[in-house]
């Protein structure tokens, strides 16, 4: 039976405090494997022993060393012989998931397969053994990392394992290990692009470790010649209770690779803050360094890619890159992250190239770091395939114009998409097709058939890829659909796009394209399904929320569209188009407060914004206290509406309608009369020939009548201090009525519709005159 007491020794979170003698595996994984016996029923045993689990961990760690951490495994011939005895057949197909193939660079895939099988059998017999679930979670994540793309089935496995681990994490009775477990789960969710779930778990870790991560703005300078200090972002890590071991005690023996210097005549190597204390980098424990890096990745993934987002990431990278001690995995991952960030800036791209070359050397050099150092807190930080580092180096070379050198590197790691890009850049597209055909002759694969179709525009290649996969490959259908999509043949693209997401639902871009194709073909229900699925996978894309709302409006579901557009605004607060759509849908759904909020935001985003049509629908409804969509009274919005109209009247003082609308929500009869006075003046000044048209004549008579009525009402209810203002308003109203009456009487046209209204206005004029005489 497996014993819970040895579980913590099986987790491979190597550090300097760990007693290596109590650990059964050590770090020479092949040597351990060579000492083991493997019977013919090794993979089919119903009740694996503790020794079998240790063997599984050894196989997985050997796989990780060869494919992720480096250096190359020693004595690989013996390893291959052992693997062939345990698994005789080629298992690449067994490791495919949802039709997604293994990356062509993966070495010793049988190690992963053996580890996965043993852990699966062990979990059947020992369901309550927490560390088995923990290793199962790690295997799922490692398996996903060596696939060409995300796989739905692996995500389902991950969710099940993560749920169990989070539910039973208290069994560990150790806050550090509990935090490490949550970190690995958070990183797993991030691997599958679930940023919201990752963020929730990170918040839980802050609580477990009693730590706060705060990004503050502090005054500082970035360049050598900068005279005035400006606000710069800085990360502060505050430990409420310092119970974690220091980085010196856990990883003090590791000499971490440093960030290379800029060698720039202008930029400082790091921000210099005005307060000297802020320039001192706080040394934080290894576990917290892993936590900060997970937060960094999540912030990067959750935000749009722009310069502002880059500035928000900088405090995290600066904190990690200037730690004196810590886990090697965190440092290498942070350096690689920084390389990717700086690759987009001309002042730092050369440093990125040198840094990437140095990292690759460190990974491959067996003398530079020990295996123990490479595995220290590795699962809690991140795992980076070695071919990804090479690909990043190739990308940097391309950005610096070193196309041929990058091409050689891409060919080495079989990065065929990039190979095709290089040949296209060199105007040798035929050469790309030639290379792919040569590789197909060596070893056919779905990916190569699809890439050949891309390189030659031969649609039959996609059909061949589909048949080669025995009609299981989402990639074949994706390339097939994308071929038609690029030609705007959405009718032909649609069935292939539907099929590819049916096979593998974790294809974000394909859901977007499916939605766009459906909207183009006015298939609104399909568009809703596509965009709704995409927003679950990638909730930060405002365009998807916007398009989803558009499809819902077309289906007549405006209340739901209103909620969807609200989510869209969370993703892009500064896009006026989304705000305008949100405002219009809010009008249709009687969400009056949202209309006012959207209108105010549009005033901030668009210079001299004005939408009279919206105001004419919303202000009268609020003025008469029309209940909103939730049945709440809208009189509570009078002040907000009045402030909005006041701003609009200042900006667009010549619009008479604004003054009239403002009068509807004015707080007193005097205020209403004053605004109606402005409405009358602006209209008659702008429309000088108003008395020659029936419609405008009626409008002026009505406006002048309301003006007189409100002026008379102001006499009945006004503050004693406003007596002179009331008298002045009565005088203005009288003059306006007199001008209106004369204008109508002078006009030679007589309309029946104006006779009665003119009589009413004359009566109001006389009453106003009498009241004015009485007050004089």
Compute the distance between CA of residue 710 and CA of residue 662 in angstroms, rounded to an integer. Answer: 13
| Greatest Cα pair distance in the chain | 117
Compute the distance between CA of residue 731 and CA of residue 737 in angstroms, rounded to an integer. Answer: 10
Compute the distance between CA of residue 700 and CA of residue 117 in angstroms, rounded to an integer. Answer: 86
H/E element, 218: strand 211-223
Asked if 592 contacts 586 with a C-beta cutoff of 8 angstroms, the reply is yes
Model pTM score: 0.79
Compute the distance between CA of residue 700 and CA of residue 386 in angstroms, rounded to an integer. Answer: 79
Compute the distance between CA of residue 60 and CA of residue 122 in angstroms, rounded to an integer. Answer: 15
Asked if 663 contacts 679 with a C-beta cutoff of 8 angstroms, the reply is yes
Residues 6+ apart with CB under 8 A from 271: 220, 221, 222, 232, 234, 318
Every domain of the chain and the residues it spans: 4-173, 191-383, 574-665, 675-776
CA-wise closest residue to 131 among 228, 8, 307: 8
Per 3-state DSSP, what percentage of the chain is helix, strand, and coil (rounded to 5)?
A: 65, 5, 30
CA-wise closest residue to 331 among 299, 298, 366, 363: 363
Residue 178: per-residue pLDDT: 94
Q: DSSP class of residue 239?
A: E
623 Cα distance to chain centroid: 40
Q: What distances in angstroms separate CA 446 from CA 153, 292, 440, 508, 620, one per listed residue?
A: 19, 39, 10, 20, 63
Residue 5: per-residue pLDDT: 39
310 burial via Cβ count (<10 Å: 0-12, 13-18, 19+): middle
116 Cα distance to chain centroid: 32
* Rounded mean pLDDT for each run of 10 residues along the chain, 776 residues in total: 51 78 70 80 71 88 95 88 86 88 94 92 84 94 95 94 94 91 96 91 95 91 86 89 91 93 80 83 91 94 68 91 95 95 85 94 93 93 94 94 94 91 87 89 91 90 94 94 96 96 92 95 94 83 81 88 83 80 88 93 90 93 90 90 92 92 90 91 88 87 91 80 82 90 75 79 88 78
| Helix (H/G/I), strand (E/B), else coil: 733 | helix
CA-wise closest residue to 662 among 687, 686, 642: 642
Residue 31: per-residue pLDDT: 85
Compute the distance between CA of residue 46 and CA of residue 38 in angstroms, rounded to an integer. Answer: 15
Q: DSSP class of residue 340?
A: H
End-to-end Cα, the chain, rounded Å: 107
Asked if 506 contacts 534 with a C-beta cutoff of 8 angstroms, the reply is no
Q: What is the dihedral of CA 720, 725, 729, 735, to 10 degrees?
A: 130
């Amino acid at each position: 039976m497996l014993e819970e007491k040895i579980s913590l020794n099986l987790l491979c979170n190597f550090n300097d405090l760990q007693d290596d003698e109590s650990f059964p595996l050590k770090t020479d994984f092949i040597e351990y494997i060579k000492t083991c016996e493997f019977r013919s029923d090794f993979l089919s045993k119903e009740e694996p022993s503790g020794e079998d689990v240790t063997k599984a961990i050894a196989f997985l760690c050997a796989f990780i060393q060869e494919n992720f951490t480096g250096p190359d495994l020693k004595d690989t011939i013996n390893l291959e012989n052992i693997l062939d005895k345990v698994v005789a057949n080629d298992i690449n197909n067994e490791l495919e998931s949802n039709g997604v193939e293994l990356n062509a660079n993966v070495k010793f895939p049988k190690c992963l397969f053996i580890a996965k099988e043993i852990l699966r059998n062990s979990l059947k017999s020992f369901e309550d053994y927490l560390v088995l679930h923990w290793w199962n979670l790690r295997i799922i994540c490692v398996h996903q990392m060596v696939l060409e793309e995300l796989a739905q089935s692996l995500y389902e496995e991950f969710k099940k394992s993560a749920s169990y681990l989070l539910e039973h994490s208290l069994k560990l009775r150790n806050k550090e290990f509990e935090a490490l477990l949550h970190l690995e789960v958070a990183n797993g969710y991030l691997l599958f692009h679930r940023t919201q779930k990752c963020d929730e778990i990170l918040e839980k870790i802050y609580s477990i470790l009693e730590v706060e991560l705060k990004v503050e703005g502090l005054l500082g300078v970035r360049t050598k010649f900068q005279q005035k200090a400006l606000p710069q972002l800085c990360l502060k890590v505050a430990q409420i209770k310092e119970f974690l071991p220091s980085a010196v005690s856990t990883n003090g023996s590791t000499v971490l690779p440093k960030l290379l210097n800029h060698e720039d005549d202008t930029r400082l190597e790091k921000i210099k803050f005005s307060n000297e204390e802020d320039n001192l980098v706080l040394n934080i424990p290894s576990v917290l360094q892993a936590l900060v890096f997970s937060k960094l990745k999540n912030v990067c993934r959750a935000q749009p890619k722009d310069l502002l987002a880059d500035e928000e990431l900088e405090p995290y990278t600066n904190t990690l890159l200037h730690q004196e001690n810590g886990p090697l995995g965190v440092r290498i991952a942070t350096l690689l992250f920084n390389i990717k960030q700086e690759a987009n800036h001309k002042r730092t791209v050369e440093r990125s190239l040198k840094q990437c070359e140095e990292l690759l050397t460190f990974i491959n050099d067996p003398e530079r770091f020990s295996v123990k150092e490479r595995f220290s807190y590795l699962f809690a930080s991140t795992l980076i395939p070695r071919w990804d580092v090479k690909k990043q180096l190739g990308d940097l070379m391309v950005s610096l114009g070193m196309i041929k050198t990058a091409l050689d590197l891409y060919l080495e790691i079989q990065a065929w998409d990039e190979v095709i890009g290089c040949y296209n850049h060199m105007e040798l597209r035929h050469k790309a097709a030639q290379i792919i055909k040569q590789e197909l002759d060596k070893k056919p694969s779905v990916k190569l058939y699809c890439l050949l179709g891309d390189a030659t525009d031969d649609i039959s290649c996609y059909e061949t890829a589909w048949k080669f996969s025995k009609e299981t490959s989402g990639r074949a259908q994706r390339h097939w659909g994308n071929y038609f999509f690029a030609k705007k043949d959405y009718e032909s693209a649609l069935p292939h796009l539907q099929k590819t997401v049916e096979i593998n639902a974790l294809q974000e871009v394909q859901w977007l394209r499916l939605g766009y194709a459906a909207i183009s073909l006015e298939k609104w229900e399909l568009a809703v399904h596509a965009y709704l699925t995409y927003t679950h996978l990638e909730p930060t894309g405002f365009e998807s929320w916007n398009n989803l709302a558009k499809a819902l409006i077309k289906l007549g579901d405006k209340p739901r569209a209103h909620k969807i557009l609200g989510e869209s605004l969370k993703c892009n607060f500064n896009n006026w188009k989304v705000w305008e759509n949100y405002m219009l849908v809010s009008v249709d759904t009687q969400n009056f407060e949202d209309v006012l909020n959207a209108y105010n935001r549009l005033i901030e985003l668009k210079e001299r914004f004005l939408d009279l049509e919206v105001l004419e629908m919303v202000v009268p409804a609020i003025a008469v206290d029309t209940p909103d969509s939730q049945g709440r009274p809208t009189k509570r919005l009078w002040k907000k509406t009045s402030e909005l109209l006041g701003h609009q009247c200042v900006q667009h003082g010549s619009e008479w309608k604004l003054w009239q609308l403002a009068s509807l929500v004015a707080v007193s009869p005097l205020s209403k009369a004053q605004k109606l006075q402005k409405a009358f003046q602006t209209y008659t000044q702008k429309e000088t020939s108003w008395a020659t048209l029936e419609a405008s004549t009626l409008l002026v008579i009505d406006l002048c009548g309301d003006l007189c009525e409100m002026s008379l009402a102001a006499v009945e209810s006004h503050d004693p201090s406003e007596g002179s203002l009331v008298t002045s308003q009565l005088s203005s109203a009288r003059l306006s009525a007199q001008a209106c009456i004369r204008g109508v009487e002078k006009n030679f046209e007589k309309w029946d519709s104006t006779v009665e209204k003119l009589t009413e206005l004359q009566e109001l004029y006389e009453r106003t005159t009498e009241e004015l005489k009485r007050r004089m």
